[in-house]
Chain A
């Protein structure tokens, strides 16, 4: 008799367990398929949609000392392409006007006509960035670059167009990721034969500028 009751009890519990597990399976099947399909599709990164900002365009203004022809205001534009975090290609155009030589002032003569005093240059070259940071009072931190530049170009002055070597250094403060301030000192060297014999003309330029990355 005892065996019978045991057997019945065991059978029912076993049946119950089987049933419940079966229903669990059924439930699991149901939860696999959500009632509401999410409105999100797996997003694949499309690099063509990511904006790249390797170009930098800017303007500058400053002073250039034109050998024998006083110091003048210079202004111009600069385009840079960043090859890597270290190197960049750079192109500049600059415009100034030569002053008078001491010979002209003392002798009351004109060596150059007004249009011949226009001083224009272009140059293309390579730059090296050395990154750093600037900490200002008030707890602000700016990324900076100290940079070295050098290149070749041409200077148009005194009705002549001369191959010009330029080299210099600058300091750039990045106000944010797209806007920056520059201070640059650059030497322009070219040969000139205006005052008789041919000689090297050294023209030092100090400029400050603003540039945007795009």
Chain B
């Protein structure tokens, strides 16, 4: 584990700053200080009407309706919902899908680029959480990836393996290739290199912590549930270069959920 004590102190100072340090009135309009300088973006309703909800989800009730021709100001976005304000100062939430049917000042339908799984230029960054087994021990992992081309992406991985006799942490950099990036079920191959940190449990014989270099190759698949997020599963084969006589090998499988930014 890393230094809990210092993290503890740091995170709480930060939180205290975030939660109590900011004057509440800067938040009041839903626009933050940089937005209050810019005029709010305006849109005009083109469809016969558009429904307003009390919150950013289908589960919240419709409480108001804007008619054709009404001008709305855009305040803040949460997932696929936009908080809007009308001329009378009413505020509520409108679905992005409804917003895409509205006009902006130029008389054109407004365009908001949403991440799409089959267009890598709209989704350069991704991140995900995964869990599985590393050499029949549980592994937790998180990663962040950057799409360089339609097929190739670069990933940074952090994994933690908590075994009975030791704790292993792995830091990896991987290159991933998707031969068919436009498929909803998209297979991939990957290879990478990294560092492996082994910390034996103190209840066992006194062994010191050590680190080893490691390389891996793997294959897997991504299934895009939505344009925004996907299930990912993979199997990786690790080669661990020890300074003993033989190198070690380990097989890892994982499944998880990822999201595009």
Binding site for B on A (CB under 8 A): 41-47, 49-54, 57-59, 77, 81-87, 89, 93, 95, 118, 120, 124-126, 129-133, 141, 143, 151-154, 156, 159-163, 174, 177-178, 193, 210, 212-214
Contact = CB atoms under 8 A, between A and B. Distances in A.
A54 B167 CA distance: 33
A84 B55 contact: no
Contacts of B15: 57-59, 77
A46 B41 contact: yes
Contacts of B251: none
Given A85-B81, A131-B57, A212-B19, A95 B8 contact: yes
A87 B231 CA distance: 13
A102 B109 CA distance: 70
A49 B19 contact: no
Interface string B74-109: 111111111100000000000000000000111110
Interface stretch (B26-34, B182-190, B211-219, B237-245): B26-34
Contacts of B228: 83-84
5 contacts: A82-B79, A93-B8, A124-B140, A154-B160, A177-B30
Contact of A160 (B12, B201, B229): B201
A84 B226 contact: yes
Nearest to B256: A126
Given A143-B60, A213-B78, 12 more contacts: A42-B106, A49-B41, A51-B35, A52-B78, A53-B78, A57-B15, A82-B79, A85-B56, A85-B58, A159-B202, A161-B201, A177-B78
Contacts of B59: 85, 130-132
Nearest to B226: A84
B230 to A, nearest CB: 10
B142 to A, nearest CB: 7
A118 B82 CA distance: 44
B129 A89 contact: yes
A156 B162 CA distance: 11
Contacts of B75: 51
Interface string B100-120: 000011111011110000000
Interface string B53-70: 011111111000000000
Contact of A51 (B31, B43, B131): B31
Interface in B10-54: 11-12, 15, 18-19, 27, 30-32, 35, 38-39, 41-43, 54
Nearest to A118: B4
A152 B140 contact: yes
B43 A45 contact: yes
